[in-house]
Copies of this chain bind each other. A is one copy, B any other.
Amino acid sequence: MTSKKKFTESNSKYSVGLTTASTIELANNSSPFQLEFGERLTSMIVEYETYGTLSKNKSNVILIEHALSGDAHAAGWDSNEQAKHSDRMWRKKKPGWWDTMIGPGKPIDTNKYYVICSNVLGSCYGTTGPKSINPTTGKFYGLSFPIVTISDWVRVQKLLLEKLGIENLYAIIGGSLGGQQALEWALRYPELVERCVILASSAKLSTQGLAFNAVGRHSIMSDPAFKNGNYYNDTAPISGLAVARMIAHITYLSEEGMNKKFGRRLQDKNKLQHGFDIEFEVESYLDYQGKAFVERFDANSYLYITRAMDYYDAAEIWGEGNLIEACKKIKSNVLIASFSSDWLYTPTQSKELARAIVRAGNAVTFADVKSPYGRDAFLVETKSVGRLLKGFLTGGEKR
């Protein structure tokens, strides 16, 4: 989706340039991190990147939340020639996952804002997760890593900000699973968030969403290479993970967008193969997506992150099941955008959240962006999303 040109001086004007991820220790033996479901982490490293300059009064901080397979590298070009994680070599080929939005003069303007993006707990991109070494055993965690939640992620991010000496957020912004983190921020730390942007997201995952996640995990866990999560010294369950990714990818696109992009075109225009190898372009595309993903993502992390998605239900956590009650906690201005062809985090769900916030007596800007790109739209509809972000970020102060 993003440009594949390498970063050069000539395109540096609107880029944050070369970036290096930082890591920070946020828990250790003397100061463990207490998780929502009761377990404790006695070691927790978090990876994050920052772009722009922190203002003197520290009032220009924007926190960016990544989605399922994202990482801390949201903008610019990774400068790390000796990537610590081989998983991260793929980064070298393209700019950060939201480079279109973040940079000097871009909608999330690094000339004005200090932008932070951190990798979530349980992921495989530098923050502690199932692929990390469990300090008490000296072995990989695997499935002994505790279950994490979106609330945990947000609390970790709060801890990160504290360590960086930051108290308030000018804005919190996220799309898809990132949007749920943004919402959780506005609910959990209402006093600290001035603006909250929730794109292509919802207050909870739908039944269909639970179902797709379940099948993805089932595919991973029934791969014989999975070995109950203990595969780090061996072959990873790449077949199962590839299928999980292929399923998920279909949900990121829409029939409209897929039809536009691939239709029923054959991979080899000149002849049918009459078999089970790749025949249609869309098969080739999915096959590529599966293969590329297993080179960069950890199967156990996929389990943990999708489970965190499953569990999140803002109404349950903050309103005893009542979303309006929950939304009464919010004090920030909120921008919610849905995308017309997003069929998993649907416009209806976004509207439901927006309506609940309004009924709770808070301000919301709601936009349903017409787009054929499904959930991916929050990444690829750069014009519409850019305009919405720019307007909202330069707009009114917190009430």
Contacts and interface: CB of A to CB of B under 8 A. Distances in A.
A342 B53 CA distance: 51
A310 B37 contact: no
A259 B206 contact: yes
A206 B282 CA distance: 11
Chain A: number of interface residues, binned into ranges: 35 or more
A105 interface: no
Nearest to A265: B207
A48 to B, nearest CB: 27
Contacts of A134: none
A187 interface: no
Contact of A210 (B214, B223, B264): B264
Interface stretch (A158-166, A242-250, A386-394): A242-250
Contact of A211 (B215, B239, B282): B282
Interface stretch (A19-27, A173-181, A271-279, A356-364): A271-279
A268 B347 CA distance: 31
A287 B287 CA distance: 25
A274 B208 contact: no
Contacts of A286: 211, 214-215, 218
Contacts of A182: none
A261 B208 CA distance: 11
Given A143-B276, A218-B287, A343-B343, A250 B210 contact: no
A205 B253 CA distance: 17
A92 interface: no
B247 A282 contact: no
Contact of A274 (B37, B250, B259): B37
Given A214-B282, A218-B246, A219-B243, 8 more contacts: A205-B264, A207-B263, A208-B254, A208-B258, A211-B286, A217-B276, A255-B346, A276-B303
